[in-house]
Chains A and B, each alone.
Chain A
Amino acid sequence: MAGQAAVRIRRAIALVNSVADEAGDEEITPTEIAEAIRDCLELTEVDETSNVRRYLGEALDAVSDGMPADFVAMTLYAALGALREGASN
């Protein structure tokens, strides 16, 4: 489905932001964030635009390495940006 990758990336970003902003109304684990990123990587759509898979892979590595939430978020924003650029070209 077109745009499904953007939806999934936004969901992953929202989860990460929830951790970073300390919303205080949920317990998000790194496993859940990693699952959300893997959900993005499952889509073939992420291969249609260069760098999207690479950024998602870097975000997944960042979660595994225990990098700060803002770093993970920034990498996911980069993936979303690459996807948008691909869509506009």
Chain B
Amino acid sequence: MRSAEGRGRTLDEAVDAALIELQESRRNVDVKILSEAPEETIVEVTVMDQTASIPAAAPGPVNGKAEAAKNLVEGLLKHMGVRAQVSVRTGADPITLDISGRDLGALIGWRGETLRALQAVTNVMVGKHLAEGERVIVDVERYRQRREHTVREIAMRAARQVKMTGDAITLDAMQPFERRAIHLALEGDPEVTSSSIGEEPERRVVVGPRKPAEQ
């Protein structure tokens, strides 16, 4: 039975840190709180059902490229003086590196700007290990995943409103990966359409009613 210790400012953060190390989802684990204080929570997360584990989550390198990318990012963070764990997200395509640890807000930066810069540097560093067009995604404390989830919810809310009022809605300026998440979330909806207007970095998604000819 595998287990890992996780630390974080909140219970959720601590559990997430351990889950990343175990490369497991919440439904397969048992969580035991070892200590809970305002500044830090420590948990022990144990995988309950080994048969439910994803085979690729077994210990060892996921693949050579991912391991090379992981090692390079670990080295980069060490040079930056950042104490954090780097893991390869299981089953992710493209290769996704999860960075977890305490107080990593500075690695994310305003609207994810620092995270985006870190990803650019990582891709330049690991470029020689990758095939043409292949890229590595870097995520800190699941920020990208959370943002994608949030913008998808925003998209769904906007779509509901457009269907009720028939008026188009212009959303806030967003990063390319966020706009992409919105387009993907709404592409299958026969009643609404999404498009982008404006210039970077103020480019915004407009959600509007799909015209009859488009349906």
Residue ranges of A at the interface with B (Cβ–Cβ < 8 Å): 10-11, 13-15, 17-18, 20-26, 68, 70-71, 73-74, 77
Contacts and interface: CB of A to CB of B under 8 A. Distances in A.
B172 interface: no
Summarize B's interface: helix, strand, loop or mixed: helix
Given A20-B135, A21-B177, A73-B117, A26 B203 contact: yes
Interface of B: 116-117, 119-121, 123-124, 127, 135, 175-177, 179-180, 183, 195-196, 199-201, 203, 205
Contacts of B121: 70, 74, 77
Nearest to A36: B200
B135 A23 contact: no
Counting chain B CB atoms within 10 Å of each CB, the highest count among A13, A17, A22, A73 belongs to A17
A60 B127 CA distance: 20
A73 B199 CA distance: 17
Contacts of B124: 68, 70-71, 74
A22 B180 CA distance: 8
B145 to A, nearest CB: 15
B117 A18 contact: no
